[in-house]
Amino acid sequence: MLITFSDFTSIPVFWLQIALALPAEGIAAIWVLLILLIAGVVNRFADKPEIVRKIVHIGTGNVILIAWWLDIPASVGITASILASAITLLSYRLPILPGINSVGRQSLGTFFYSVSFGILVAWFWYLQQPHYAALGILVMTWGDGLAALIGQRFGKHKYKVFGTEKSWEGSLTMMLVGYVVSSLILVGTQGNSWQTWAISLIVAVIATALEAVSFLGIDNLTVPLGSAALAFFLSNLVLSY
C-alpha cells in the first residue's frame, strides 16, 4: 500500500522511541516529524498545496541548525539526504508526497532541496566549518520560502526570467531575508566588522539573482550552494589579509 502525505499525521510510537534513544539525532528526528505532522494536518483540512510545501520547506530546513549546534555527524546528514532524495524522486512517479509536490507546475525543487543538504553537510562538516552549510540552507529555506509567499500575496510588479514569472516584491523579500540570515550567522561566527556586513550583502544579492533563475526548481540547488560557497570564499579572502 502506498503511503500518502496525510499518513504522516499518524507517527508510529517506535519512531519516537528511536529518536529519544539518540540524543542529538533524536532531537533532529523529532523536529522533522513535528514539521511533517503539522504539514499533514494542514494538507488534510485545507486545500493549500503551496502552503503545505512551504511549511515543509521552511520547517525542515531549520534542522541544519540542530545538526550544527549539536554537532551531529556528517554521516547522519548525508544518509538522510540520500534517503530523502530517493523518496522525493520516487514521489514524482507515485503519490507518496502529494502535499509537497503538487504545486501545479513541473518542478524538481524537492529533490534539489534534499541534494543540496547532503552536499553542504559533506563539504563543510569536512572543513569543520558547518556554519557555512547552515548559511546556505537557511538563505534558501527562509529567503526562497518567504519570497514565494510574499510574492504570491503582495506581488503586483511582475517580471520574467527564462519564461518564469517573478515579482519585485518577492525578490526584495528574498534579498532582505538573505541579508539578515547571512549577517546573523557571519557576525555571530566571524565578528562584527564592515567586511562581514559587506559579504552578507553580496551573498544576499547573488542569492536573489540565483533564485530568479528557478526553472524546474533548480534554485533549491543553486541558492544554497552558491550562497554557502560565496560566503566561504569571500570570508577566507578577507581573513587572509
The predicted structure's pLDDT at residue 99: 52
Residues, the chain: 241
Task: Quick: pLDDT tens for 212-241.
Answer: 887 778 899 999 999 999 999 999 998 766
Angle of the 145-154 helix axis to the 168-190 helix axis, nearest 10? 150
Task: Quick: pLDDT tens for 107-152.
Answer: 687 889 889 999 999 999 999 999 999 999 999 999 988 988 888 8
- DSSP β-bridge partners for residue 164: 161
Q: What are phi and psi of 187, to 5 degrees?
A: -65, -40
Task: Quick: pLDDT tens for 17-65.
Answer: 444 445 667 777 777 888 778 777 777 777 666 777 778 878 888 999 9
Give 171 or 57, the one with higher predicted confidence. Answer: 171
Pairing of strands 164-167, 158-161: antiparallel
What cell does 153 get? 500575496
Confidence of residue 104 (pLDDT cuts 50, 70, 90): very low
